[in-house]
Chain A
Amino acid sequence: MKGASGVDRLGAVMRSAGIKDAIVANEAALGLVARVGATRITDALGALRDDDHEMLVDLFATDTGSWLEITYHLRRLEDSHEVFVKTRADHGGAIPSACGIYPAALLAERDAAARLGMTFRGQPGGGLKAAAGGPPLLRKAVVIVPEPEGAAE
């Protein structure tokens, strides 16, 4: 599933989940990417899990300045096929948790929530806890200012 056929197949997987407005592309240095609305993100992830993408490689969020972009990196182990699924959230907004489909998302979701200032709805309790406290460090508005030399002494 590479090149155009990969785009076609990923588009078909999205349509099978009833997501007709997914934007699917093969991006030069990254590979196959599907962009879906936040309300359909678990449908998209569920459809890809059913398509044997059983491994969540990573989940992270990026502050674009105007919104937060959440990236899910999935892999099908049988042929090492990889797909990136992206969705958006407002600053301080909420999107559904992926833990019901990919339990491995738990710590990464908690980390993204703490670092970007957002919420993943419906997360299970317990298990692993991300760093807490302080401002959402990975927001672009949060700037690291080095301490003047000798200030710590």
Chain B
Amino acid sequence: MSTVASGAVTIGVSGGRAASPALRLTLELDEERVVSSAAFPGDGPGVLEKLAEGHRYRDVPELFGRMGRDADVHAGTAFSMAVERSAAIDVPARAHWIRSLVLECGRVASHLSWLSAFAIDAGAGTASGRAAEIADRFYALLEAIGGNPGAHGYVVPGGVASDLPAGADEALSAASSALEDELPDLDRLLRGSRGLLARVQGVGVIDRDASLDCGLTGCSLRASGVGFDVRRDAPYAAYSDVEFEVALGTVGDCWDRYAVHVEEVRWSGRLIDRLLDGLPDGPCAAKVPKGLRLPAGEAYASVESPRGELGVHLISVGSGGPYRLRLRLPSYYNLGGIPEACRDSLFEDVPLIVSSLDIDVAEAGA
């Protein structure tokens, strides 16, 4: 936590993975209680959108590395889907399944990385270290498959850049089995942490209507009881071919946001097993011309990234690159939850509340 403004009532803070000079939060306080707040998110998606206009379609995914390792492969997938929709490219079944595998691997890594930061803010240091350790294992898997910790550039228009490397299926299976054993222990460790429940239950509440008014998606939306998940409600990759449940909260407090994250990790582990069981043979990419030109028109595609709906709206005028590329970034929209969740809360709870919203400044500022 850092003070960026002097004076009795205006204080700038940051918390969890949102901790960055790029995100400033100004609070108006009445003694220890927050009356109102304002978030300053940095640059937003505009710079990346502008850069994309000067690139060919095949080179655009290279830009997504700027969003950080947790959004990268998800943005690449949404972009590839928008291109495929626009150009009517038929993606092979194996590519769809590999995409889902990689995306779920990324979800486990991101959620546990979030959990590690959240546990620190909640005063549960032991659980934090354990969560980070498991997250690193899944980042390593992503690196083994995609060539870097965020699988940057692995999902491309037409499919995936390369098939799963030898031994990847066994490694994924072993990791999901270990996760099945480790997650209950981690959950118990957190629930048993002295004072955790008192710190998170009933704190930072965003109810159902407010969650929609704030523009929330992802775990934060579902924690408020809104059962929307792009994987289930607008299926892509292989999600319509595997069964899974969407975790929901009821109150929309920090505790529900924690519980939804943990439940999603559990289901991602199961999804990895089911995807491995059903992985079809065949090619992992369709042939896409190097000098791809899209017909004039628009396409939108989105994925359920670890932080919520990550969408790409592509406008083409028939050239070899986007005329306009709009990024709908969940961390950017989820910033809208900060003023609502912080209102009437105690000042000391603000870092935990901001942390619970799982906002990544690298993504929000793109």
Contact = CB atoms under 8 A, between A and B. Distances in A.
B85 A128 contact: no
Q: Is the interface of B mostly helix, strand, loop or mixed?
A: mixed
A138 B335 contact: no
Interface stretch (B36-44, B109-117, B253-261, B281-289): B36-44
Interface string A53-72: 01111101011000000010
Given A60-B326, A128-B41, A107 B86 contact: no
Contacts of A80: 228, 233-234
A143 B45 CA distance: 17
Nearest to B83: A29
B51 A129 contact: no
Interface string B53-80: 0100000000000000000000000000
Contacts of B299: 29-30
B318 interface: no
B336 A104 contact: yes
A77 B211 CA distance: 13
A27 interface: yes
A131 B326 contact: no
A147 B65 CA distance: 21
A28 interface: yes
Contacts of B47: 137
B298 A30 contact: yes
Given A103-B214, A129-B39, A77 B336 contact: no
Contact of A27 (B40, B298, B333): B298
A150 interface: no
Interface string B224-251: 0010100001100000000000000000
Contacts of A29: 85-86, 297-299
B315 interface: yes
B3 to A, nearest CB: 19
Contact of B315 (A62, A77, A142): A62
A28 to B, nearest CB: 6
A131 B300 contact: no
Interface in A131-153: 131, 137-138, 142, 144
A55 B211 CA distance: 10
Contact of B215 (A30, A62, A104, A115): A104
Nearest to A58: B328
Contacts of B339: 126-128
Contacts of B51: 144
A57 B298 contact: no
A40 interface: no
A107 B46 contact: no
A104 B46 contact: no
B38 A127 contact: yes
Contacts, number: 109
A111 B36 contact: no
Contact of A104 (B43, B233, B326, B333): B333
A63 B50 CA distance: 12
A107 B313 contact: no
A128 B331 CA distance: 13
B40 A129 contact: yes
Contact of A131 (B43, B234, B313, B315): B43
Interface in A50-104: 54-58, 60, 62-63, 71, 73, 77, 80, 82, 84, 102-104
A47 interface: no
Contacts of A55: 212, 228
Contact of A30 (B300, B302, B333): B300
A104 B212 contact: yes
A118 to B, nearest CB: 14
A111 B44 contact: yes
A31 B298 CA distance: 9
Contacts of A115: 44, 46
Given A73-B300, A80-B233, A103-B336, 10 more contacts: A27-B298, A57-B302, A57-B309, A58-B313, A58-B333, A103-B215, A104-B214, A104-B215, A126-B38, A127-B39
24 contacts: A29-B297, A30-B297, A30-B298, A30-B300, A55-B212, A55-B228, A57-B302, A58-B311, A58-B328, A60-B326, A71-B326, A80-B228, A82-B300, A103-B213, A108-B215, A108-B333, A111-B45, A126-B36, A126-B339, A128-B39, A128-B41, A131-B41, A131-B43, A144-B51
Q: Which 6 A-B pairs have the closest CB atoms?
A: A104-B215, A29-B299, A103-B213, A58-B328, A115-B46, A80-B233
